[in-house]
Structure 1
Amino acid sequence: MSEKTPASELLARMATFCRLMNESNPEWKMAMIFSKINLLYFTGSMSEGMLIVERDNGATYWVRRSYERALAESEFSDLRPMESYRDAAAGYHHLPATVYLETEFVPLAMFQRVQKHFPFQSFKALDFQISMTRAVKSDWELKFLKQAGRIHQRVLEEQVPLLLREGMSETELATELYALMVKEGHQGTARFAMHDTDIVVAQLGFGENSLVPTNFDGPGGNQGLNAAVPSLGNRDRKLSKGDLVFIDMGLGVNGYHSDKTMTYLFGAKPSAEVQQIHNQCVDIQYRVADRLRPGNTPEAIYESIMSELSPEFKQNFMGFGKRQVKFLGHGIGLTVDELPVLAKGFKMPLQENMVFAVEPKKGIKGFGMVGIENSFLVTADGGQSISGSNPGLIVVD
């Protein structure tokens, strides 16, 4: 599904960003935005270029490639073509001493090219202000998040069990799953804010392969193809009776993602111990969701939940061995991993219409990673799942 971002959306987003900048940096004069995800958010186009926001003179989207496409798909009010940063710089005769940049995105070489034509004296970060602008979703954005969630639910809760067969490899499952996702409406790619990160289809593994360490900052694991492609699934690992199947995947519609994890047990029933551990993870998910209310803070939610868990359960919780992550969930939207994070250090109160992926999981030696993940909308009545309610560990005969 493709739909232009309405001009009213773009105006509201820019107004929120400028308000947050005024509150946190009252001296700011100019901001420059380069990353394609943020350009999409503020202009409705991912064309290569730069968005220059002046506190007292509005915003201009300078487009290098492709200006024609940007004109066709963007409702932004001020688009101008440029061949290089020199063209854009010619439009600004009074440059402030300090410019605000995406310090999490702009590499040194790009910074040097920009500064050659915009000779500002210093820079400061605007990443947090953009993240907080993006954190609260509009009704227009929620339409696509909810659609992604419905597709997610249909694929993982209803259709994946029909794909599983004895002897198939992890790679075969990944490729068949991808085809199914796209057929059902997935945009074909899932985007991450985490630097230099890609996951082709999902974090996917059979049995103990779901515990294999990876470079991804999440509780699950997978063997992958090899060192160069550690995320697709292993060609040599075949599905056998009694295997756990672990699938953690993002799914997108018109740029917006939901995030969901489901587990399955192929050809057997779980032991009482495995079922009990999994059930506790599901219970934690709903306890977190109940606290997803405006005014609560991510840090308080994280600390209250963790304080309720026994030392024994915390072993291999949110990871396996020494690679446990220190969060229970994360914001989600134009990327799978957004702010805020349900973790220590995030003290800003939740607001209605934030969306969080909540993912309590626990590794079991000799078995794999159990647990669950769903995407929840923050409401006055607590988190509402937009990606389904099946508790997982589905037995597939």
Structure 2
Amino acid sequence: MNDLAAPGRFGVEVYRARLERAAALAREAGLDGLVVGTGPDLRYLTGSRAHSFERLTALVVPADGGTPTVVVPRLELASLTDSAVAELGLPLNDWVDGVDPYALVTRALPVGARIAVDEALPALHLIPLADRFGTTPILATGVLRRLRMIKDDAEVEALRRAGAAIDRVHARTGEWLRPGRTEAEVAADISAAIVAEGHTGAEFVIVGSGPHGADPHHEVSERVIESGDVVVVDIGGPVEPGYNSDSTRTYVLGEPDPVVAQRCALLEAAQQAAVDVVRPGVTAESVDAAARMLLAEHGLGEVFVHRTGHGIGLSVHEEPYIVSGNDIPLEEGMAFSIEPGIYFRGEWGARIEDIVVVTADGCESLNRRPHGLTVLPG
């Protein structure tokens, strides 16, 4: 598989193969074509980072194997410069204000065609498309998720780089996390380190100290971190060409209370139990159950309040979701988080998170930092 051909994207053959596969899957689904707006699906298929506002930018993929086309405002043509669109030889239907861009879509797919649109396409564009085609489009999620869930070798390598980069940030957390500093101050240092260690930006930084750690989606605040605090640090960001890291570790400032230490050890065991279950053919919900069952056996089931994981790639959260009720069988190349947590409202919380990739006989963890409660000076 080709490596990066230009800053921010893979070689052209990667995208050519993806477009061919997208057309084939659309055909299998009984569709005439796909209409993909700006966002991670367009980036996946062409390498484009274009943004669309009130003016339509869309990739039109005929299911019959015909050449895909791009509808784009003329003033936004430069947004395609760094994509693989030119190398792929995709025709451009560019337009200016006063021209109906939805009519340009019907040049590639006939009126009455059975089309599917990606989930990021806003109603602003969806409704005029439906009017033009005279049919109600369906979501292309069933087609596109099949593509994006199974990572190819180039994607897995990008995720490995992301995992190693975020591990280097966690390894440095002791430089910034100490009593007397606010969560916001610690987060600012972590954000800078995320970039310094190889990411193009910090997508998110959670520093949940003391009672804030009991809120799984707490970000940061001006709370001053105190000696004895248990602190959840959940961080991540993209590396070129846009693939994300996401890793959580839990720290304590000073020697932990024995109850905290014992519960964190159980959490570590639950996270490992879920990792051990992963292999092709096992369902996503079985991975969730492995972590949940161990915690429930020790009276901690009620404080594990979220799913065990989510897929990751060009989006931080994508399919497959590792949650009860999701009976999709795991396949080689799927990448997702395994992140059980325990949360004691008003007191403290803890979470452990790795990204794993399903292999032929198990899984590869992309995060290698120690999983147990990390003791820092208090």
| Interval of TM-score (by shorter of Structure 1 and Structure 2) | 0.7 to 0.9
Matched, 1:78 2:84: no
Matched, 1:11 2:22: no
**In structure 2, C-alpha distance between the alignment counterparts of 1:122 and 1:109, rounded to whole Å:** 14
How far is 1:166 from its partner? Answer: 2.3
What is the one-letter code of the residue matched to 1:51? L
Aligned pairs for 1:91-240 (under 5 A) are 91-92=107-108, 94-102=110-118, 104-115=119-130, 118-156=132-170, 158-190=171-203, 201-212=204-215, 220-222=216-218, 231=219, 233-235=220-222, 237-240=223-226
What is the one-letter code of the residue matched to 1:73? S
Q: Tell me if the contact between 1:63 and 1:70 (Cα under 8 Å) persists in the aligned partners.
A: no
Equivalence for 1:396: 376
Ranges in structure 1 where 5+ consecutive residues have no aligned partner: 191-200, 213-219, 223-230, 318-323
Structure-2-length-normalised TM-score: 0.88
Matched, 1:315 2:324: no
| Partner SS, residue 202 of structure 1 | strand
Equivalence for 1:353: 333
How far is 1:260 from its partner? Answer: 0.4
**In structure 1, C-alpha distance between the alignment counterparts of 2:197 and 2:67, rounded to whole Å:** 40
Matched, 1:260 2:275: no
CA RMSD for the aligned pairs?
2.2
**In structure 1, C-alpha distance between the alignment counterparts of 2:264 and 2:319, rounded to whole Å:** 27
Q: CA 1:303–1:244 in 2, change beyond 3 Å: closer, same or farther?
A: closer
Show structure 1 runs of 4+ deviating over 6 A: none
How far is 1:137 from its partner? Answer: 0.9
What whole-Å deviation, never above 9, does each CA across 1:148-179 have from its counterpart, x for those lacking one? 100111101x1111112321111111111111
**In structure 2, C-alpha distance between the alignment counterparts of 1:374 and 1:331, rounded to whole Å:** 11
Matched, 1:58 2:73: no
**How many pairs are equivalent?**
357
Q: CA 1:13–1:90 in 2, change beyond 3 Å: closer, same or farther?
A: closer
How far is 1:346 from its partner? Answer: 2.2
What is the one-letter code of the residue matched to 1:140? A
**In structure 2, C-alpha distance between the alignment counterparts of 1:395 and 1:54, rounded to whole Å:** 56
Identity of aligned residues (%): 27
Equivalence for 2:33: 30
Q: Tell me if the contact between 1:98 and 1:120 (Cα under 8 Å) persists in the aligned partners.
A: no
Q: Tell me if the contact between 2:62 and 2:108 (Cα under 8 Å) persists in the aligned partners.
A: no
What whole-Å deviation, never above 9, does each CA across 1:224-261 have from its counterpart, x for those lacking one? xxxxxxx3x112x1011111121112221011012100
How far is 1:350 from its partner? Answer: 1.2
Ranges in structure 2 where 5+ consecutive residues have no aligned partner: none
How far is 1:185 from its partner? Answer: 1.3
How far is 1:100 from its partner? Answer: 0.9
Equivalence for 1:378: 358
Structure-1-length-normalised TM-score: 0.84
